[in-house]
A = this chain, B = another copy of it.
Amino acid sequence: MRPSGRALDQLREVRITRNYTKHAEGSVLVEFGDTKVICTASAETKVPPFLRGQGQGWVTAEYGMLPRSTGSRMIREAAKGKQQGRTVEISRLIGRSLRAAVDLEALGENTITIDCDVIQADGGTRTASITGACVALADAINWLKENGKVKGEPLKQMIAAVSVGIYNGEAVLDLDYAEDSTAETDLNVIMTEKGGYVEIQGTAEGEAFSAEELNAMLAHAQKAIGELSELQKAALSS
């Protein structure tokens, strides 16, 4: 029995709200239950120095948590002058994953910077961030197209992400904090809308996990990515 009463392969209620703030070219509030992340996509018509003159664009991401998005207040990274290792890791993961959604050559010499800021955390912030950010990314790409900055179609495919894990010996989908903090294994799965793997990251927190457990978790993830892709499409067509 899961603390939330959900079925083993049941997502939390997922909501994707576009145009959440007014300045960014793409701005999404994504909610996986009580996990809430503001994802903005900022388009700029230039590229970082290492890409100049190569006729391709760039997608990068930064992740952060408001200090009191969590149960006890975390130190503000800007005030400390240093990001935590976890923050750096997640920023890199989001950027790498979203680049799999984009044809960087078709993007031309434009950069899209994704900011994912967690305003309330209840487990699964990195996978919620990727799922929401991909919608903001699509909006920013549309902005570039509508404003004549891009000719072709840089969006190759949508990307979504979800966490799965082993909780009380069972493979479960979309862990909330109550599960995540005691799960034996935690696996983040990022996939394309067509069902290809973009990234998998699994960690045994306690005992090592078996090939069977891995397969059970991946099956949950695959099913959920299909549902999340539908929600992304619904949001983009609304």
Contact = CB atoms under 8 A, between A and B. Distances in A.
Interface string A189-206: 001101011111111100
A68 B36 CA distance: 17
Interface stretch (A2-10, A114-122, A125-133, A146-154): A114-122
Contacts of A79: 62, 83, 91
A230 interface: no
Interface string A125-165: 00000000000000000000000000000000000000000
Given A78-B87, A198-B208, A208-B192, A22 B34 contact: yes
Copies in the complex: 6
Contact of A204 (B27, B77, B198, B211): B198
A82 B102 CA distance: 30
A227 to B, nearest CB: 18
A71 interface: yes
A113 interface: yes
A229 interface: no
Contact of A208 (B83, B121, B197): B197
A201 B115 CA distance: 24
B199 A21 contact: no
A64 interface: yes
A70 B21 CA distance: 10
Nearest to A73: B42
Contacts of A199: 202-204
Given A120-B21, A197-B209, A208-B197, A67 B218 contact: no
Given A21-B36, A24-B73, A89-B89, 9 more contacts: A21-B120, A40-B67, A40-B68, A42-B72, A76-B115, A88-B89, A119-B119, A196-B210, A200-B214
25 contacts: A21-B69, A22-B120, A24-B68, A27-B68, A40-B67, A40-B68, A42-B67, A62-B76, A64-B76, A64-B78, A67-B113, A73-B113, A76-B115, A78-B78, A78-B83, A85-B92, A89-B92, A192-B208, A196-B210, A197-B204, A197-B209, A197-B214, A198-B204, A199-B204, A211-B218
